[in-house]
Structure 1
Amino acid sequence: MEQLIPWAALEAQIARHYPQGRQGRPPYRLSVMLRVHCLQLFYNLSDPAMEDALYEIASMRRFAGLSLSDPLPDETTILNFRHFLERHGLGQVVFAAVNQHLAQHGLMLREGSILDASIIAAPSSTRNQSGPEHPPAVLAGSLYQPADRQ
């Protein structure tokens, strides 16, 4: 996505509306917030889930241009950026620009999910502690006999 999305063009469209930080706390860099917003769209994450993902998934931080030593945007900041885009009608501009650019390369943006393929320890079933209740099975072409039935 780093190379497929026209980041500079998107930032230029948004920059004229983006707060300059002359009052109050300075805003996050536009490039960071735009990338966080796109990650949120790519993976269909809620604002709290996006905040958690930035803390937990190094590749997402790297894509957004953040490191663990940088202050990470919290869910309220992510929400406020999304509302900022909506207020100025820029959410649709971003989505349309990304889809148009991807279509030019023969790609399509579709909803996705991140799956955790962790293997966790689980207790064995207590249901069959008295031994197998089923007749022997044929495995790999040979007759398999459980040890207690030989």
Structure 2
Amino acid sequence: MSRIVDFELFRDDLARAVPRSDGSKGGRSPFDLVFMFKVLILQASHSLSDERTKFLIKDRLSFMRFLGLGLSDPVPDANTTWTFREALTRAEITGKPAIAVLFCAYEAALCAAGFLAMGGQIVDATVVAAPKQRNTEAEKAELKAGRVPDAWKAHPAKLAQKDRDARWTIKWSKAKPAEDGSKRIDLAVPAFGYKNHIGIDRRHGLIRTWTATDAARHDGAQWPGLLSKANTAGDVWVDTAYRSKANEAYLAGNGFRSRIHRKKPPGKPMARNVARANGGKSKVRAAIEHVFVPAARGRSARPRRWRGARR
């Protein structure tokens, strides 16, 4: 990552997003903005808590090299990391979320390094687990309506521990043979949390677009904002969850070529030519699963630690 991206490109945007004191009032000098941004990258890449981030920066030479630290250099504590992340999460640059502006700068850095978006694009989503909430039916109804339950308003400490943006969804596992081998069954696994929606280019497999929603949002409703006309090819590969007349019309009306998997007819076997076409599409679409795997391994199936959709 250090070889591909010159992190100094982010300095001006970070300075606008998280302004620092001029030092006239004294006090300890703050950590460098680009340094703290790289700390957040390490933290997000490995799904680390603030305390664990501090420990591993001191423990791993690879982290030290990435951050440009020596063995005796100071390391930001958990409160420093939390404060910087919160400031960056809430910041805006020219009316846009700071994270979106920084991501555009990252895209420009990739293009400058020769990693152009080529060969078409692949879009998919993955569930990110959050700590489960033990809410009553009345509290759930209030949250769905966009309101804070009255019982929580009087207890700020309790409210701070509640994730009001995460939602439940059903995640279907791959079909597996039954114990007697006579038929195949699907397993429905409930999940609570969020969804990461991303788009990658086929040539390099690098993330080009992204958005985050609660887990209950339908994948197919999010993808218009994930498609980019900057790609050198118009092909779009996605699974059957994205197939609809509206999405097909959107592709045709914006110069994209549909490579969406076709669904199996209800109660009928899949036609051989359709199955063969889906198999060819799967060989391409599988590349996006390779992007999700390192994140899943880093999380080790643990829930995310930060509450709220903005974080």
- Name the TM tier (shorter chain): 0.5 to 0.7
Unaligned runs of 5+ in 1: 116-150
Check whether the contact 1:32–1:66 (CA below 8 A) recurs between aligned residues: no
User: What amino acid is the match of 1:8?
Assistant: E
1:45 to 37, 44, 48: 48
- Given the alignment, which residue of 28, 32, 36 partners 1:33? 36
Give the superposition deviation at 1:113.
Answer: 1.9
Change (3 A) 1:55 1:11: same
Q: Which residue of 2 aligns with 1:18?
A: 19
Query: Is 1:74–2:77 an aligned residue pair?
Result: yes
Q: Distance in 2 between the 1:21 and 1:47 partners?
A: 27
Identify the structure with the greater strand proportion. 2
SS at match of 2:298: coil
The alpha-carbon distance between structure 1 residues 28 and 54, as it changes in their structure 2 partners (threshold 3 A), is same
Q: Deviations over 1:22-57 (max 9, x none)?
A: 133211012211111111122222211211111111
Which moves more between the two structures, 14-23 or 71-80?
14-23
Q: Tell which has more relative contact order, 1 or 2 (C-alpha 8 A, sep 6+).
A: 1
> Of 102, 109, 114, which aligns to 1:94?
102
Q: Which residue type is aligned with residue 206 of structure 2?
A: M
Could you say which structure has the larger radius of gyration?
1
Aligned to 1:124: none
Deviations 1:64-108 (A, max 9, x none): 111221111111111111011112142333345435644762242
Unaligned runs of 5+ in 2: 93-97, 116-203, 208-290, 301-311
Q: Structure 1 CA distance, aligned partners of 2:63 and 2:40?
A: 11
Deviation at 1:21, TM superposition (A): 4.7
Would you say the 8 A contact 1:6–1:98 is kept in 2? Answer: no
Cα offsets for 1:9-32 (capped at 9, x unmatched):
211211234313513321101221
Residue identity matched to 1:92: A
Q: What code does the residue aligned with 2:8 have?
A: A
Aligned length: 115
Using structure 1 for the length normalisation, give the TM-score: 0.63
Paired residue type of 1:42: S
Who is 2:206 aligned against?
108
Could you say which structure has the higher helix fraction?
A: 1
Structure 2 residue aligned with 1:65? 68
C-alpha distance in 1, partners of 2:13/2:108? Answer: 15
**How many Å separate the matches in 1 of 2:52 and 2:21?**
27
Q: 1:54 to 1:26 in 2, by over 3 A?
A: same
- 1:56 paired residue among 49, 55, 59: 59
Q: Is the 8 A contact 1:15 1:30 kept in 2?
A: yes
Amino acid at match of 1:113: G
Gap change, CA 1:114 and 1:65, over 3 Å in 2: farther
Residues 47/91 of structure 1: CA separation in 2 closer, same or farther (3 Å cut): farther
Sequence identity, in percent? Answer: 30
In 1, Cα distance between the equivalents of 2:33 and 2:58?
19
